[in-house]
Amino acid sequence: MGVKQCFNAPQEVLKYKGSDTTYKWGGHHWTMTTWNKVHVMKAVYDMGVNIVHSDADVVWFSDPLPYFMSLLATPVHMVLATDAVSTHNGKGDTGLEMSANPHTNINTGVYFLRQWPGGREFFALWLTWQDKRVGHDQDGLNFLTRGQYFHGDTDMPTATATTNRLFYAAFSNTTAISFLPASMFGNTYTYVNARLSEKLEHPLYEVHWVWGGSTMESKRQNMRDAMKFHDEPSYYTEPYLLSFDLDQLQMPDGFNSWPNSRTEEMIRFHVSAANYQLQQTYFALAAALITNRTLVMPRFLCYCSKNWYQTQACRINNEELSTFPFVCALSHVLRVKKLQQGFGLPPGNTEYSGHRVFIREYSFLDNPKVPDEIKRSYLEVVPSVLPRPPGQLDPDQMVLLAENTSSRGYGRRLTVAAPLSDGEFAALVARHAAGARVVHLTQPARTLGGFARAETGKQYDTQIQKYVTHWCCRSPPDMAAKNLTEGVQLVALPPDRLADLPQLQPRFSYLHRTPPLPAAGALGVGDVGPLKLLPQRAG
């Protein structure tokens, strides 16, 4: 056909040619644009080829074509991704989803459609739903294939289920539909939270970055974490960096097997653990601001999934394969859109008004695109266990021990008097780390004492809390029975600075202001429950 790689979508087949200044999920312009995708795919299908459709927020980890072409030997006509957060396929089972049935929500982000005599008629049927005003293209396909199983409309036909991993579409009863297992054709939840591909030892073909944050920036951050986003070379070569370690709270015994009845205890431990990590980040971000460096995010650990509706035992939709902790998506703890725009103090600040902190993903220093000379230009800063000398220290007095090799086997290591004020830390870095591309803090909360100027400290407190997100969501029965809010606002401020926290809207509350759970031994530290919150060095 003369097609070498790609070609422009045929504009003449588009039914909607409108425009809008905004592109908002659920809006008219957005809805009509999703239907345009179907018109384009039909035009490609009409060329006589098998087609693979992939949304723009899908990242391919390996070549799916051998898998899709193997389906030509099966009776299935259309194979789709779903909104499932788990799979019924066990280890070694890399076939189509074992529980393919019309009760499952279809996601049109990824699908494979083979050529067969009824294919064009099926596409035409799908497009008839556009004029029925049922919603976007995905809603139309759910109605077409699932019939009354989609919204319970008893006037619609039902899909015909079978026992061999497929069913026949409600409005096209000769079209065989099947599903792609969520372990191999995943979403953010199955990739980040549940890690299904890893646990089931299934090949991972793609991740559709849904179920992981509501903004484009959060999706982009997840792609960067996975080292699957394209950034220009300067992104990897230009910044001077500050990185840091995190201590973790010790997870309670048996936490992963706690039943649904202990969900609230699990939530409180997760929030306590997230706050504990954020309160260390408070000092690391301050250090990056003081030295005007780019901050490399740590691997935050999560002990409860974040969602837009309720969790059960900190998992979504009663799935059972997630184990805690998992490495958080950054949007689980911080507001990614704001972070990607840079962190700075208000214009009225005179000390750090020209400083702005940008971030890099936790995998940044593992990325082969970062030159080795940057990774190895490394200075490790360790706080001394000895009390610091009194009074203001000059840069040489701050250094108690200088070593030519860090704990990583390269770079240098400084043991410093701690805690240092912001001015002292700035002087230390200027004197001893000016050429170091990576300054690494092993214990930021012990290394930096804060801002000497009270007003700057208060401004910093106000700003950083704007960058912290919330956890969500409790179940309505728990909220009603225990008089609890739906979500809990996470906190980056150290315990002695909580007076600076802003007031919250009624939907959220702070953990330290949440009534303790009744009985069962009275709740322990931080109102978490009968748990011991013990710091534990991260590996």
pLDDT of 532: 43
Q: Which amino acid is at 370?
A: V
pLDDT of 412: 97
Both structure tokens of 188: 């953010």
pLDDT of 1: 58
Find out whether 205 and 218 touch, Cβ atoms under 8 Å: no
**What does the pLDDT look like over 462-487, one tens digit per residue?**
999 999 999 999 999 999 999 999 99
| Position 418 pLDDT exceeds 90 | yes
Question: Quick one: pLDDT band at residue 348, thresholds 50, 70, 90?
Answer: confident
| Position 528 pLDDT exceeds 70 | no
pLDDT of 538: 45
pLDDT of 3: 67
pLDDT of 58: 96
Q: Which residue has the higher pLDDT, 146 or 5?
A: 146
Both structure tokens of 229: 């986003």
pLDDT of 374: 98
Mean per-residue pLDDT of the chain: 93
Residue 519 is classified by DSSP as S
Q: Which of 24-28, 229-233, 317-321 has the lowest mean pLDDT?
A: 24-28
The DSSP element (H or E) to which 381 belongs, if any, is strand 378-383
Q: Which of 119-128, 225-234, 394-403, 511-520 has the lowest mean pLDDT?
A: 511-520
**What does the pLDDT look like over 189-239, one tens digit per residue?**
999 999 999 999 999 999 999 988 778 999 999 999 999 999 999 999 999
Distance between CA 402 and CA 396 in Å, rounded?
Answer: 10
Give 234's contacts (C-beta < 8 A, 6+ positions apart). Answer: none
DSSP 280-319: HHHHHHHHHHHHT-EEEP---EESS---SS--BTTBSTT-
Mean pLDDT of 136-143: 97
DSSP 461-511: HHHHHHTB-EEE---HHHHHHHT--SEEE---S-GGGGGGPPP--TTEEEG
Question: Quick one: pLDDT band at residue 519, thresholds 50, 70, 90?
Answer: low
Distance between CA 7 and CA 217 in Å, rounded?
Answer: 28
| Position 523 pLDDT exceeds 80 | no
Q: Which of 187-191, 324-328, 442-446, 516-520 has the lowest mean pLDDT?
A: 516-520
| Position 7 pLDDT exceeds 80 | no
Predicted TM-score of the model (pTM):
0.92
| Position 264 pLDDT exceeds 50 | yes
| Position 524 pLDDT exceeds 50 | no
Going by C-alpha positions, the residue among 301, 284, 280, 302 that lies closest to residue 293 is 284
Whole-number percent of the chain with pLDDT over 90: 87
Q: Which residue has the higher pLDDT, 303 or 213?
A: 303
